[in-house]
Amino acid sequence: MKEPIKWVKNTMPKTDSVPPMNLMTEGEIQKAWNFHRSFPCYQVTPLVTLPHLAQRLGIRALYLKDESYRFNLNAFKVLGGSYAIARFIAQRLGQDISTLPYAVLISDTIKKKLGDRTFYTATDGNHGRGVAWAAHTLHQRSVVFMPTGSSQTRLQNILKEGADARVTDLNYDEAVCFAYEQALHDPQGVMVQDTAWEGYEEIPGWIMQGYGTISYEVHQQLAQYGVSQPTHIFVQAGVGSFAGSVQGYVAQVYTEQPPVVTVVEAAVADCLYRSAKENTLVSVGGSLQTIMAGLACGRANTISWQILKQHSGYFVSAPDWVAAKGMRVLGAPLRGDRQVISGESGAVTTGLLTAMLENDEYRDLRESLGLQADSVVLVVSTEGDTDPERYRSILWDGELSSV
């Protein structure tokens, strides 16, 4: 018996202004994009169109942003960590980020001015690898703590980037607290985390802006397809920083008829879904064990939450089988559609869309969302096969296909 998908429509009271939205103005996001494109390895990641899947699902078009190509790191997270580190350096040097492209940041002059820094973080894998890569690229140290149950492959990928990294016996949110304490006790320590709380909001805000490069690229790419805007966006959430980044950007760019944004979480860590349902910010505890390691976060980013509760249309709690379904749909596509290698956290939105449109059990959700023949849907595959063994187990061996 499959665990059901749960959902709630956003009925939370709206306010006239949301200060965190100032983070996600088009001007601020263009700054982040300009920074990222100064990297020699920068390339715009593909926006894939899946016409045959769209036809099967009964919608007009389906577009997927494939972040497995980002900086050769197989996931999008590096965008946030690298931009936050660059903004931290710019602040310490009293300079604007626009004066510090990649070539300047890695110079001996900047190294001498900044001195030695150690960047601390907690991660399931992708964020930590991005922070480690950025720190190593800028000739700085990084220390990465991973929650219990983390993939050894992901740990090894972080170690290869030069980080001091280990798997702890803590859950994700506990690992975040532990990393923060370690950074506080290090005179040269800097915490780089996308989870925000009272007193720690500046760096998470920079990380959200860094993620904005994805939305900026998508906006340009859709125009190349002749699409003015999507009608629906499905975006995954762990702490919610990426979801808030997407929502914050589209709410300011598509002002006349904003797309319906649905936030999708892993069922064991559905703090945003529960918060929307209860109309107050709540946390989820426990081991948070899910195949969607990148979404196994029980405490929301407080900045992002202010954006999501103001603008997002729906919140969904998705069991693991939804992500597994999405991985198979993308990994074994309909003839004529492009194959997308999407990991567990990356594929959950495609899995939800497919399950919802093919299964009458979720007819009420698709009707409430207004998904129909003229709908144009956007999803983001946030990671590739960052855990190759698990990926093959799901695609080749059918793991989670019958639960």
d(CA 52, CA 50): 6
Determine if residue 353 is left, alpha or beta; phi over 0 gives left, psi from -120 to 50 gives alpha, anything else beta. alpha
232 neighbors 375 (Cβ within 8 angstroms) = yes
CB-based burial label for 159 (10 Å; 0-12, 13-18, 19+): middle
Active site residues: 77, 124
User: Which residues are CB-neighbours of 209 under 8 A, at least 6 positions away?
Assistant: 23, 24, 28, 29, 31, 32, 83, 87, 245
274 neighbors 284 (Cβ within 8 angstroms) = yes
Token pair recorded at residue 132: 């480690």
CA atoms lying within 13 Å on the CB side of residue 67? 25
CA atoms lying within 13 Å on the CB side of residue 148? 9
